[in-house]
A and B are shown apart, each in its own frame.
Chain A
Amino acid sequence: MKRELPLLMTAVIGIFMILSFFVPHHLVGVPADYLQQCAVIVVAFGYVLGGANALRVNLEGIARRQPDWPYKLVLVVSLIATVVIGLADGRRWQEPGTASMFLYDRLYSPMQGTMFSLLAFFIASAAFRAFRIRTVEAGLLAAAALIVMLGRVPVGDALTSWLPESIRMSAFQEWIMNIPQNAAKRAILMGAAMGVMATGLRVILGIERSYLGGGD
Chain B
Amino acid sequence: MRAAMFATMALLLCVALTCGGGAVSAQTGSPEQAPPPAPAPPSGLIYADVANDAGNAITLSWRKSPDDSLGLGLVKGYVLERGTSPVGPWVTVDSLVAATSEYVDQDIDRNTPYFYRISAYGPGGTTPALANAGPAIGRETWFNTTRSSVLAFVVVFFLLVLYYMSLAQTGRKPFMRRLAGIDAIEEAIGRATEMGRPVLYVPGIQDIDEMQTVAGLVILESVARLTAKYETPIRVPVAYPIPFTIAQEMVKSGYLNAGRPEAYDPDSVSFVSPEQFAYVAKLSGIMLRDRPAAHIFMGSFFAESLLLAETGYSTGAIQVAGTANVHQLPFFVVACDYTLIGEELYAASAYLSGEPRLVSGLKAADMLKILLILLILTGCVLESMGITALTTWMETQ
Contacts and interface: CB of A to CB of B under 8 A. Distances in A.
A46 B274 CA distance: 12
B346 A192 contact: yes
A22 B342 contact: no
Contact of B272 (A49, A54, A115, A189): A54
B369 A190 contact: yes
B192 interface: no
Interface residues of A, number: 61
A39 B252 CA distance: 24
A194 B324 contact: no
Interface string B203-219: 00001010100110110
B289 A26 contact: no
Q: How large is the interface on B (under 10, 10 to 19, 20 to 34, 35 or more residues)?
A: 35 or more
A21 B147 contact: yes
Given A122-B310, A201-B161, A191 B369 contact: yes
A212 interface: yes
A200 B209 CA distance: 11
A177 B285 CA distance: 37
A214 B326 contact: no
A116 B255 contact: no
Nearest to B361: A198
Contacts of B350: 202
B211 A199 contact: yes
B346 A22 contact: no
B342 A189 contact: yes
B242 interface: yes
* Residue with the highest number of chain B CB atoms closer than 10 Å, among A18, A60, A190, A214: A214
Contacts of B256: 213-215
A208 B358 contact: yes
16 contacts: A22-B144, A23-B143, A24-B144, A25-B141, A46-B242, A54-B273, A115-B280, A115-B307, A129-B334, A191-B369, A201-B158, A207-B358, A210-B250, A211-B249, A213-B250, A214-B249
Contacts of A214: 249, 252-257, 261
A192 B324 CA distance: 6
B10 interface: no
Interface string B118-158: 00000000000000000000001111100100110010011
Contacts of B221: 210
Given A126-B335, A195-B215, A112 B277 contact: yes
Interface string B288-310: 01000000000000010011011
A26 B252 contact: no
B372 interface: yes
Contacts of A194: 343, 346, 365, 368-369
Contacts of A196: 211, 324, 346
B110 interface: yes
Contacts of B245: 46, 49
A42 B358 contact: no
Interface stretch (B37-45, B52-60, B61-69, B79-87): B52-60
B244 interface: yes
Contacts of A118: 307
